[in-house]
Amino acid sequence: MSEKKPHIAQKSPFAVAVEAGKSYWCCTCGKSAGQPFCDGSHKGSEFTPKEYKAEKSETVYFCGCKHSGNGMTCDGTHQKL
């Protein structure tokens, strides 16, 4: 089964202050209204949210284009789209 490409939510990262020890469920389909987190918009597709576990309290730059080679965090791929 060939996987569809995710929708590009935005061509820049989402800066989010995360708290140590908390889990965050990240959108992988790109259609969530609550970017970068999942709101269930993937239902009926082959996409599923991915869990991000914060090891420390810090600002994390979550991928906005959904094409990052780093998975849930931005690696600059949006600059090539």
pLDDT band at 2 (very low <50, low <70, confident <90, very high): very low
Residues shown for the chain: 81
Residue 80 phi, psi (nearest 5): -105, 0
Reply yes or no on whether the pLDDT at 53 is more than 70.
Answer: yes
Residue 58 phi, psi (nearest 5): -170, 175
Three-state SS at 44: coil
Q: What is the pLDDT of residue 4?
A: 86
Average pLDDT over residues 26-50: 97
Are 16 and 72 contacting, i.e. CB atoms less than 8 angstroms apart?
no
CA distance linking residue 76 with residue 8, whole number of Å: 13
pLDDT band at 3 (very low <50, low <70, confident <90, very high): low
Q: What is the pLDDT of residue 20?
A: 98
pTM higher than 0.75, yes or no?
A: yes
